[in-house]
Amino acid sequence: MRFALGQLESGADIRANLAAIDRFTAEAARDGAALVAFPEYATYEKKKVDATFPAVAEPLDGPVCRELADIARRHRIALVAGVVETSEEPGRAYNTLVAFGPDGGRLAYYRKIHLFDAQGFGESTFIKPGPSTAPVVFECGEWGSG
């Protein structure tokens, strides 16, 4: 299986980040990749985690994930990207990686467990750690959880 890593400089403009993800995904698909993976916070990022993160957070069936699913479907490629997901705790969100198959269906998601609180980056103030330490696996093409 051929896969691609999409390195990008995300910012606070979600639409611009999604457009960049779309461009990188299209290129990866043209180059024959079956999966493209983007980093955490690919859809929303700032130099410091602040109150805007929970303010822009969305559920996994919200507009950002629907757009990621559409990108995967349009380019017929599996896609993994970091999103800011709503949590049940007011004022805190999840730092989540979500995977979509080439049909746009959600394959899996992972809520970051170990948050980064160093060098002025206080992630845990506005981000809630994921509740599970179980590994997250999904099947994609000839590679799978087996």
Output the pTM of the full model.
0.93
Amino acid at 106: R
pLDDT tops 60 at residue 145: no
**Residue 145 in domain:** no
pLDDT tops 50 at residue 146: no
**Residue 144 in domain:** no
Phi-psi region of 67 (alpha: psi -120 to 50; beta: other; left: phi over 0): alpha
Assign residue 35 the CATH number of its domain. Answer: 3.60.110.10
Please measure the distance between the N-terminal and C-terminal CA atoms of the chain and give it in whole angstroms: 15
Q: Specify the 3-state DSSP secondary structure of 81.
A: strand
Query: Closest Cα partner for 11 from 38, 55, 44?
Result: 44
Question: In which domain, by residue range, is 37 found?
Answer: 3-126
**Residue 80 in domain:** yes
Mean pLDDT, residues 58-77: 98
Cα 65 to chain center, whole Å? 8
